[in-house]
Structure 1
C-alpha cells in the first residue's frame, strides 16, 4: 500500500487512456494565462506515464487546492504537441525538469469539482488520489462521461506565428 490514503496509483496503458490530466495548485504562486490564453508547456514527473505521453493526446487542466484563489475542478483543455523533454536547469545543483509541450487553452468558466460529483463523476484518479503527481489520467470511459460537461475541445494546434 502506498501513500497516506493506503491507495496506489495503478499502471495504465495507451489502450485505456482518454486524456492526460495535468494539475496545478494556485497557492503555489503559478499564474495561469487569462481565460482563452494558452499554456505551452507543463512540468511532469519522470516515469512510465510521462514516457507514454504523445503528440495528439488530449490534456485536461485540473486546478486543485483549497478553493480560495480558484474553484477546484477542470479549468483547461488541450493537446500534447510534442515529445516530453528535459528542460535545462538554471541551477547547477538542481536536477533538470521534464516538460511536455502542450497547447492547453484556459477556460473562461471552469467545471467545478462539485458539478462533476453531482453528475456522478467520482472515480477520476485526481478525485481518489488528490496528492498524486503530474501527469494523472482519465480513462476513455471517464472522458466520455465528462464530455457533456465540457465546452468543445480545442482540436487544432496553434498555427505558427509570422514575423
Structure 2
C-alpha cells in the first residue's frame, strides 16, 4: 500500500482552483468573496477536508494568476453526482501573483505549478503554508 502524501500532520492548507473561463470572476470580485460552494473530486483528499481547515483561492488561466483570497472550509464535502464543499473565502484587494510566489525558492514546486489541470482540491503542505501565510494580507 502506498503512503498518502496528505495527512492531518502534513496538511497546511487546501487550495481551491478557479478557472475564470468556467466560473465568472466578476460577481465574486464585486462581492469581495468567492462562491460558497466548490466542486471537488471524489477522492481520498476530499474525505480529509473538514470544517475550519484553511483554504486558499487560486485563480488559474488569467493574466494575474495566483492567490486571490483566503478563508476556511465551513463544512464537510457533500457527496453526489458532483461532490461539493462549503467555504468562506474573502478576496484580497490585490492577488498574490504566481510569479511572486514562485520566486520564493521553497514555493517554486507547489502542486498548482506542477499539476495546474488537476481537479480540486489541491493542497499545500505545512511548510509551504508557513511560507505563504506571511504573504497574505492581514485579516
Query: TM-score w.r.t. structure 2 length?
Result: 0.87
Q: Which ranges of structure 2 fall in alignment gaps of 5 or more residues?
A: none
Q: Secondary structure at the match of 1:152?
A: coil
Q: Which ranges of structure 1 fall in alignment gaps of 5 or more residues?
A: 1-9, 88-95, 154-163
Note the aligned Cα RMSD (angstroms). Answer: 1.7
Within 5 Å, which residues of 2 pair with 1:1-163?
11-31=5-25, 33-34=28-29, 36-67=32-63, 71-86=64-79, 96-120=81-105, 121-153=107-139
Contact kept, 8 Å, 2:36 with 2:88, in 1: the verdict is yes
Contact kept, 8 Å, 2:12 with 2:126, in 1: the verdict is yes
Give the deviation of 1:38 after TM superposition.
4.3
Structure with the largest fraction of helix: 2
Q: After TM superposition, which residue ranges in structure 1, 4 or more long, deviate above 6 angstroms?
A: none
Question: Structure 1 23/118 Cα, relative in aligned 2: closer, same or farther at 3 Å?
Answer: same
Contact kept, 8 Å, 1:39 with 1:105, in 2: the verdict is no
Q: Secondary structure at the match of 1:65?
A: coil
User: How many corresponding residue pairs?
Assistant: 133
Please give the per-residue CA displacement for 1:80-108, whole angstroms capped at 9, x wherever unaligned: 01111135xxxxxxxx2111011011111
Rg larger for: 1
Query: TM-score w.r.t. structure 1 length?
Result: 0.75
Please give the per-residue CA displacement for 1:107-128, whole angstroms capped at 9, x wherever unaligned: 1110000111223220211111
Q: Secondary structure at the match of 2:134?
A: helix
Cα distance in 1 for partners of 2:128, 2:62 equals 24
Cα distance in 1 for partners of 2:59, 2:135 equals 16
